[in-house]
């Protein structure tokens, strides 16, 4: 057993009287109490006024720290900033904050972070985003007021802001060691990234779980509205306490008026809801998690952020799972808690445990089958052009060279065509899609990264959409991420992670993977508005009958097509199961096949594609 105070060697006898963390087997040990931990609720005057009432908003947060911090123990902070603590609530079991005895302090703390980490020498903060729970103001759905909420607490921890308790007394963080981390899933994850990209001093690391990084991409895709009807205002309403929803209606109405549902174009409204372009401001390290099959916060959110982290040499690690919008605590619990523990020990307590010397990427290949890789996309990936080929009586083909002679594929947009109709029966000619199939593969084909579709096409209308789907045609058992639970089954048994109090335990229902056998798998997909072919900021109508180049990405993936399976590429116009506002023009579209292709990020490049039978 090793005694360590932030890694420092023991000093004189007087110094040994100061409580210290305990490190054994390379990790902090639970030597501090949970039931006797200090609990506080504090309030900070912010720097903004989200509800335009002439007063700066007040940001509230609940804090738990070891009792030993009153006797000189210096500890770091783990913070989960969230809009959900009194409405949607947190975790697979939808835990809300709860003050059971009415004393103004939390008795029930959502999630396991407090139970597990406080006894190991951490403080935990659960912060109420502006306009939610005990904070004043109104939510603005990832605008600056939302994004700056947690920064107020980081500033207070580092002596740059003033916090008060309910009695109005000034409270300082003289127990803080100067380092803080943030963690959270979904909206909470976006708030962690939003805080990190401000470059605020004192935020050392963030652990975003399935969080939006570009809010435009959450409700739009390449000019197409994927979530309409003023979705941003609707979400703000959801996270606002019911008794304040009427009060905050003017703020929501202003968002609905500015969100651009009419066009789907990128405007300044989305610019302040963008984190990727602000990554150069970051100093915090990142442990990033995302489900590759997340159809809520889709995978392009993690990939764009990850690519920017790499470009700016940010210290980072990545987990990619086969589930949908599922927390890793409910996907790979024991390994996740161990990884999180070691991550925070390294970055917040300075414990040399080797976690940054391990492979950068953990990736789930099949249900509970995990691999590690040096990076993502997988090293050796090379963009490989696969050209669309004309068919004779059924589907077209896919080859590594373009068709020898010019050929055209024609179809008509259908705004009601279902995703199943698009994908099923690929060998059958259908009027509202084009289908292209490879020969059965003779070797595995591994893609890792972001595929891109490049079409040369014309239409008989001034506007239309384009959609593309990459499909694996072949029977296999896969994670059932489209079923209830998005890939997991919640069991009745529990396991426990941390210490308990009479009102709060660290025990949670266990989970198992939900799998299913199917004849095909939708691997990835993408859409675009043809009028946004030059820019998502500006729509330019088509000239009827004129051919244009249309290039758009599919969602990023890491997928292995097995031998004997066939790769399918489906081209459509409107894609109603991906977009909330299908195009109404019913355009007739002609695709010049000789100049049209899908670019696949193949591990091993063209040589691997040849080996697979292309």
* Residues 90 and 110 sit within 8 Å (Cβ to Cβ): yes
Please give the radius of gyration of the chain, using alpha carbons only, rounded to the nearest integer. Answer: 26
* Residues 464 and 583 sit within 8 Å (Cβ to Cβ): yes
Catalytic residue positions, numbered: 186, 294, 325
Angstrom distance (rounded) from CA 248 to CA 235: 12
Could you tell me which of 439, 502, 457, 468 has the C-alpha nearest to residue 578? 468
Cα 85 to its chain centre, rounded Å, is 19
Q: Six-digit token pair at 378?
A: 């997988």
Long-range contacts of 89-94 (CB under 8 A, 24+ apart): 90/185, 90/188, 91/327, 91/329, 91/508, 92/327, 92/329, 92/330, 92/490, 92/508, 92/509, 92/511, 93/508, 93/509
The kind and range of the H/E element at 192 are: helix 187-196
* Residues 40 and 165 sit within 8 Å (Cβ to Cβ): yes
410 class by beta-carbon count within 10 Å (0-12 exposed, 13-18 middle, 19+ buried): exposed
DSSP one-letter code for 378: P
CA angle 57, 61, 64 (to 5 degrees): 165
> Can you state the percent helix, strand and coil of the chain, rounding each to 5?
20, 35, 45
Give how far Cα 208 sits from Cα of 184, 186, 194, 220, 275, Å: 6, 8, 10, 21, 12
Tell me the three state secondary structure of residue 2.
strand
């Amino acid at each position: 057993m090793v005694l360590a105070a932030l890694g420092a060697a023991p000093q004189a006898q007087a110094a040994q009287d100061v409580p210290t963390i305990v490190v054994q087997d390379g990790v902090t040990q639970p030597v501090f109490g949970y039931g006797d931990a200090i609990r506080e609720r504090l309030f900070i005057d912010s720097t903004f006024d989200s509800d335009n009432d002439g007063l700066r908003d007040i940001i509230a947060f609940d804090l738990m720290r070891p009792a030993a911090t009153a006797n000189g123990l210096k500890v770091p902070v783990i913070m989960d900033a969230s809009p959900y603590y009194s409405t949607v609530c947190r975790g697979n079991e939808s835990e809300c904050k709860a003050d059971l005895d009415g004393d103004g302090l939390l008795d029930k703390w959502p999630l396991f972070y407090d139970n597990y980490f406080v006894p190991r020498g951490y403080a935990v903060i659960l912060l109420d985003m502006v306009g939610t729970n005990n904070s004043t103001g109104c939510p603005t759905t990832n605008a600056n007021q939302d994004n700056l909420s947690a920064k107020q607490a980081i500033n207070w921890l580092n002596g740059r802001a003033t916090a008060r308790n309910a009695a109005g007394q000034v409270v300082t963080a003289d127990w803080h060691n100067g380092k803080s981390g943030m963690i959270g899933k979904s909206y909470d994850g976006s708030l962690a990234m939003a805080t990190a990209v401000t470059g605020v001093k004192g935020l050392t690391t963030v652990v975003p779980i399935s969080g939006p990084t570009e809010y435009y991409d959450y409700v739009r895709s390449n000019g197409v509205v994927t979530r309409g009807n003023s979705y941003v205002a609707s979400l703000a309403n959801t996270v606002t306490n019911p008794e304040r929803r009427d009060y905050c209606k003017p703020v929501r109405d202003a968002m609905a008026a500015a969100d651009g549902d009419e066009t789907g174009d990128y405007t300044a409204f989305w610019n302040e809801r963008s984190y990727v372009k602000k990554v150069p401001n970051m100093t915090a390290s990142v442990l990033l998690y995302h489900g590759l099959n997340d159809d809520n916060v889709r995978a392009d959110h993690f990939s764009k952020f990850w690519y920017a982290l790499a470009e700016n040499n940010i210290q980072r690690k990545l987990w990619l799972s086969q589930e949908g919008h599922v927390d890793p605590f409910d996907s790979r619990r024991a390994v996740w808690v161990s990884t999180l523990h070691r991550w925070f020990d390294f970055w917040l307590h300075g414990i040399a445990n080797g976690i940054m010397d391990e492979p950068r990427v953990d990736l789930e290949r099949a249900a509970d089958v995990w691999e590690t890789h040096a990076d993502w996309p997988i090293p050796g990936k090379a963009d490989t052009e696969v050209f669309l080929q004309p068919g004779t009586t059924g589907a077209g083909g896919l080859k590594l060279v373009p068709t020898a002679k010019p050929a055209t594929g024609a179809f008509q947009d259908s705004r009601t065509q279902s995703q199943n109709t698009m994908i099923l029966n690929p060998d059958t000619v259908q009027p509202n899609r084009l289908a292209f199939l490879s020969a059965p593969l003779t070797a595995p084909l591994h893609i890792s990264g972001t595929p891109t579709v490049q079409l040369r096409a014309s239409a008989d209308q001034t506007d239309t959409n384009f959609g593309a789907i990459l499909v694996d045609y072949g029977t296999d058992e896969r994670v059932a991420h489209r079923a209830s639970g998005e890939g997991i089954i919640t069991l009745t048994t529990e396991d426990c992670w941390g210490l308990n109090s009479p009102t709060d335990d660290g025990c949670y229902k266990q989970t198992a993977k939900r799998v299913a056998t199917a004849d095909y798998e939708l691997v990835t997909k993408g859409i675009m508005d043809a009028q946004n072919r030059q820019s998502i900021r500006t729509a330019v109508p088509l000239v009827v009958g004129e051919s244009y180049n249309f290039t758009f990405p599919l969602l990023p993936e890491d997928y292995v097509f097995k031998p004997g399976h066939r790769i399918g590429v489906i081209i459509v116009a409107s894609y109603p199961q991906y977009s909330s506002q299908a195009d109404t023009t019913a355009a007739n579209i002609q695709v010049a096949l000789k100049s049209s292709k899908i670019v696949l990020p193949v591990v091993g490049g063209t040589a691997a594609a040849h080996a697979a039978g292309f």
